[in-house]
Chain A
Amino acid sequence: MHTRGGLMAGNAVFGLALGFSLSNIGFGDYAELNHMFTFQDMRMFYTFVGAVVVASAGTAVLLRRRPAGMRIHAGVVPGAMLFGIGWAISGGCPGIPIVQVATGYLPAVVTLTGVAAGMRIYRWANGRYLRLDQGSCGL
């Protein structure tokens, strides 16, 4: 499984499953997303919490080796805050705009461009000013 071909196959299989699932759950639908964040419709919130519960159980039973996660560095809270604001405005956490484009929402290409630009700006800003030590290769 950990050969190059095995890793490629794993990413292909689970990428397909992820895109298919996200599309059918409705994460790419801005109305559904806003209804979750405003507590008008808890379906997707339960989906997310349920997924964490399922993954926790699976992780506990099946994954013997769990690496130490990143420590709480100075970027976690402000970074997550900015991400949350961006997610609520654009409706895109980094995988979602891909699904939106695949559903036919052409303007999501703009969101993707913004994501790419944001990552680039962060790289520059962190190298030059912030110098956060994240102690991780990024999740």
Chain B
Amino acid sequence: MDPDPALAAGSGVNGYWPWWAGALALGTITVGYALWTGRGLGVSGAWARVLNWRQVRQLEQLDHAFDDEAALHAAIEAATLQEFGQGSAPGGSAPGAYVASATGTPVSQTLNRPAPRPPAPASSSAEQRPMPVACYATLLVAIFFGGLIGAMVSGRFSVRTDMGPGFSQIVTGNPAVMVVLLFTGGLLVGFGTRMAGGCSSGHGLTGCSRMQPASILATAVFFGSAVCVSLLLWKVI
């Protein structure tokens, strides 16, 4: 579908980057981040770790404390039992058991939260081990300052108590309804990205560019549902 010429011209007036400049920037950031840190870029994962920083720190300390793999397995298993009760822990604590659990047994429930790092066998890449939680916090803070610099330089910075004319026209101009909708939307974003295991950066950019089926599926679904809701908001409400 061709863009509406008036609107396409409009976006030029707004001073936003043309599509190819944005594509180059985001694509370069995705690859550069992976090259530099050895991990895929993912903002929702960073959020999750920062929000659970207490547990993540505990696990980091645990990891330092137990250089011995068997002791680490025993500790993780004990924690699992405590959290999920009997029957949720795998039978043995053989070195392979924990890694195998990533594909089947409920121990990996814990993987989903602060992500205890599996005792890395020689074959595992750095990518499977989360960075220290301070790195994820740095990423989020840096996004803020990057956004601030971008807004200042482009002259778009202005403190306001609404979400801009677009939100007022398309969604609601009522401040109370706006707060409810923003919170509800955020709730869905937080819940959904953790459930799907990634967001527009983790699944959309990193996962899709690596041709990972789960990410391509997730991206198609979240774009699809966003299109449906946006059309409803625009046309109906």
Contacts and interface: CB of A to CB of B under 8 A. Distances in A.
Q: Which of A12, A67, A106 has the most CB of B within 10 A?
A: A67
Contacts of A28: 147
Interface residues of B, number: 149
B179 A80 contact: no
A69 B27 contact: no
B73 interface: no
Interface string A3-16: 01011101111111
A10 B37 CA distance: 6
A89 to B, nearest CB: 4
Interface string B157-200: 11111111111011100000011011111111111111111111
Contact of B189 (A50, A59, A105, A118): A118
Interface in A114-139: 114-123, 125-127, 130-139
Given A25-B22, A123-B194, A42 B147 contact: no
B206 A82 contact: no
Main secondary structure of the interface of B (DSSP, over half): helix
Contacts of B225: 80-85, 88
Given A2-B38, A23-B151, A111-B183, A31 B226 contact: no
Contact of B44 (A58, A131, A134, A139): A139
B82 interface: no
A53 B189 contact: no
Contact of A38 (B192, B204, B234): B234
A60 to B, nearest CB: 9
Interface residues of A, number: 123
Interface of B: 1-4, 7-8, 10-11, 14, 16-20, 22-38, 40-45, 47-48, 51-52, 83-84, 102-106, 108-109, 111-113, 115, 117, 125-128, 130-132, 134-136, 138-151, 154, 156-167, 169-171, 178-179, 181-215, 217-219, 221-231, 233-235
